[in-house]
Structure 1
């Protein structure tokens, strides 16, 4: 393990140097608000597709899904169509229309887009959006920093009070330097590392068991219950669980750190090509994670912590250097999400509040200074949250994905497909989505009835439609982008 730790140290140093180099190079191209928060709408297909998918998954794809398949067996397969459905909704029904509409209105952020679409001079749409984004993103980032601490502790035995500041400082530094362009390119590289590690490790595990036949035979001997497609549940319980798993896909259209990748796409061709890249990435990531989890039942039948399967398999099955690269994938998964969420939280402070509501006359140079300061302060704040282990903050993490998905997903889709949505309808939808998510989660209905995102998304959609019908179409409201992509 000492040899492995040393090798991982070298790999991580090389990896960090690469991330900082990207930050430095991209900083030379970042001179304006649009460049800092949207890369001047210049992303091409591969970077748009891989960075958007990688930033949406975090360490859950590498550790959580593998652990879920280890515990649930074949029933974890039903998780795959839910995630791919989310990718499909975003890329087929949202990406191109949002790209076009945000470009036409000059919107840099999601609050920007909503305010411009509804011509909201009261700023209530912007304020409500910022509050939801900021609260969810800060909780998310704090939890991801905790993940960095646990990763370094597990591999090197480094206490979290050292590893969190070091890991956080690296992410903050390259995000401050290059802004969104640095985040997009580092996420692209991190996404490739993630898919490489999962595909290689799952296939290596399968081969070590003698292929699919050998795997099924050995899993049946160790944990036969994991080969049940319904996970040993009754039909009614399984159907409820299936709806919840499919409902995970409803969260994707409402994630600001994913949506801004589509807004930054260069042109229609980028979106058309990106569809296939993103769907392929998702299929590889999740099918490999589920396969590794199933193989783990035969390879490590008595594993105490299911989320330790990925690192344990890497150490046991791969050569030292390859294992070090694969384990770096865990860190890459966390960093890709953290940097994406920090840039969104910073845009909420620097652009949506300070630049749009406090100081409208900011020069580009002053704006970049404020933006970089926002990244620094928010990053340090998130590290403080992680170090303090504040339970109130981490309580938000339980429903941050659902809260964002239910608050913004229905509103964004309605604005892109309906001319009859009003400002009041959008506000009602956002508030309904967020409140229902919180209430459903804290009352335990997520565990006893169904995953909170499903009812929250449906009720938010109903609120958008119902209140819009009641308040009536607003004169002068811009028509949605409903023409076909060029």
Structure 2
């Protein structure tokens, strides 16, 4: 039997399993709250791993190892920034967000929360945030589909553009009907698979090279700069990599897991599970790329982001390789399904019902949401048609967009009573525009990752505009006090 056939069979077994999970979840999805939030009944383990795996996406298996393979240990600053940001998000946002979204008319989407938090009857906040979600999630989804296409192309010789469509079809098949529960349950399984793969591959690769000391020595003999975390970096580049951590506060597909967790009492356990998973996975990805420098020294890879794929093919038998490659699919699928779900809820609830059909039933909204999933996936595939698309570059743009537009808004909405609706609008606009403009400029200070200035400018604009205007209405302040009181009891 040909190696590709064996590997393909292993991947098909995995994909069939995901379809079964999606089918079971669909049977438990009866209304819009179930479809977009799972009825707020996620257990700590499912919430933690689904948040982690939907966060990491294909860049954990492709982009981060690829960056490490290209430049060496100076890429570790990115992992440090992400781990710090994720911990801060779990520590300071998870519990308040879970409580406040319930107090604020039981909000089930991020735009829903923004509108309810500020009692915005004009729908401006809801529509504006929905537009931001649709713009940046389309790029984010495209990045993940590009990762899937690279995997299928390198593993099976599939045409790149055909691979884009195949990947989108697979993810749509279970996200379309199972909704949030399907996304969360499959993310949990996919998170475990990613975790195991990122432990197994670097251990086996380093053993093949003779051990850790031999690996480090081999890389040092090639170029000592690979071993230096400060090699080739500047203050701007280090700040840029660390700034990735700021993005966590504003990622809709991550914070929605906080909304869906069963109880605030489950959050400490979920935080411990999630952070343990993340730190080990990040180090696994780093060591995959690091070992690749030495292993592929005699035949350098044409595409640095294929280092994980190449290791799975050269180090393991075809059956094991199939499940290791399925881990990449897991990383991709776990992110895309979450992104499509948040995007569809934005279109169904925040556009369709809010603007066009206020009397729409929940069943009608679910149908619109599912149609939206197909439409967004279609646009994302077209954006990924460029064969030279880089996963990490596409992810970095979308990550910055959400982090700058929503991060300061969520933080201040949870911790500052004086914040106003106009301040929230200013924060979204300034954050998003700064990212778009800054990313188009080059040289000097503009080499700084656009998330950093976008976050700072958004934060300042919220404070300034809120202080210039009138205080929030009494009803908003009273609801904020209710939220604070409930926080003490939680």
Q: TM-score, normalised by structure 2?
A: 0.93
From 277, 283, 301, the equivalent of 2:279 is: 283
Q: Which runs of 5+ in 1 are unaligned?
A: none
Residue 82 (structure 1) aligned with residue 81 (structure 2): yes
Which position in structure 1 is the counterpart of 2:191? 191
Give the drift of 1:390: 12
State the secondary structure of the residue aligned to 2:23.
Answer: helix
In 1, the alpha carbon distance for the partners of 2:248 and 2:78 equals 14
In 2, the alpha carbon distance for the partners of 1:292 and 1:447 equals 32
1:136/1:396 contact within 8 Å kept: no
Which position in structure 1 is the counterpart of 2:354? 356
1:4/1:320 contact within 8 Å kept: yes
The number of residues matched between the two structures is 479
1:49/1:274 contact within 8 Å kept: yes
The more displaced of 214-223 and 369-378 is 369-378
Which position in structure 2 is the counterpart of 1:25? 24
In 2, the alpha carbon distance for the partners of 1:142 and 1:399 equals 12
In 2, the alpha carbon distance for the partners of 1:146 and 1:70 equals 19
1:275-324 alpha-carbon deviations (Å, 9 max, x no partner) = 01111111111111111222112111133322121111122222332222
The more displaced of 333-342 and 441-450 is 441-450
Are residues 448 and 351 of structure 1, via their aligned partners in 2, closer, same or farther at CA, if it must alter by over 3 Å? closer
1:55/1:257 contact within 8 Å kept: yes
Which position in structure 1 is the counterpart of 2:35? 36
Question: Map of 1:463-474 to 2, 5 A cutoff?
Answer: 463-474=461-472
Q: Which runs of 5+ in 2 are unaligned?
A: none
CA RMSD, Structure 1 to Structure 2 (Å): 2.1
In 1, the alpha carbon distance for the partners of 2:64 and 2:30 equals 40
Question: Map of 1:236-315 to 2, 5 A cutoff?
Answer: 237=234, 239-301=235-297, 302-315=300-313
Question: Map of 1:319-358 to 2, 5 A cutoff?
Answer: 319-358=317-356
Residue 55 (structure 1) aligned with residue 51 (structure 2): no
In 2, the alpha carbon distance for the partners of 1:229 and 1:158 equals 37
State the secondary structure of the residue aligned to 1:253.
Answer: helix
1:8/1:328 contact within 8 Å kept: no
Q: TM-score, normalised by structure 1?
A: 0.94
Which position in structure 2 is the counterpart of 1:158? 158
From 358, 365, 368, the equivalent of 1:367 is: 365
Give the drift of 1:80: 2.0
Are residues 357 and 329 of structure 1, via their aligned partners in 2, closer, same or farther at CA, if it must alter by over 3 Å? same
Are residues 336 and 240 of structure 1, via their aligned partners in 2, closer, same or farther at CA, if it must alter by over 3 Å? same
In 2, the alpha carbon distance for the partners of 1:59 and 1:180 equals 20
Residue 427 (structure 1) aligned with residue 425 (structure 2): yes
Are residues 169 and 446 of structure 1, via their aligned partners in 2, closer, same or farther at CA, if it must alter by over 3 Å? farther
In 2, the alpha carbon distance for the partners of 1:449 and 1:165 equals 34
